[in-house]
Amino acid sequence: MSGAGQSRVQTGTVLAAGCVLWRRAPGGGGVEVCLVHRPRYDDWSFPKGKLKRGEALLAAAVREVLEETGHHCAPGVRLPTARYLVDGRPKEVAYWAAEATGGAFEANEEVDRLLWLTPEAARVRLTQPRDREQLTALLDALPGA
């Protein structure tokens, strides 16, 4: 069993991974950040999801971006890990900054809408205030953002 699997069994912590997906804004005006809408929770967040058995954190993050947004990405710096409770169980979501490298969104059961927003608009649209920490860290990591 992998270290991640052992951690989940020993602590009961739900492990997940995701990315703050970004791209250069059309016309060179800074960056845009991708937010996804999940109808199950009626929330706006970054693409993320639970690890599959034996899956590495970064591999899960890249997989989740592709599954939820239809975009391939180039992962960059590690961003802060989000820690919170879901139904009384601890959850940890590892995040990376990731530049979109191509693809196209198609609505699915898990994600029905996707928006590319300026960082300021994304900060306002995020449903969970805790997600703003990853957005701030992304902007700190991107020169000229």
**Cα 56 to Cα 9, 16, 59, 83, 128, distances in angstroms:** 16, 10, 5, 18, 25
* Domain interval for residue 74: 3-141
**Sign of the four-CA dihedral 84, 124, 113, 81:** negative
pTM: 0.89
For residue 94, give the CATH number of its domain: 3.90.79.10
pLDDT tens string, the chain, 145 residues long: the values are 344 443 444 468 999 999 999 999 988 779 999 999 999 999 999 999 999 999 999 999 999 999 999 999 999 999 999 999 998 999 999 999 999 999 999 999 999 999 999 999 999 999 999 999 999 999 999 976 6
| Domain count along the chain | 1
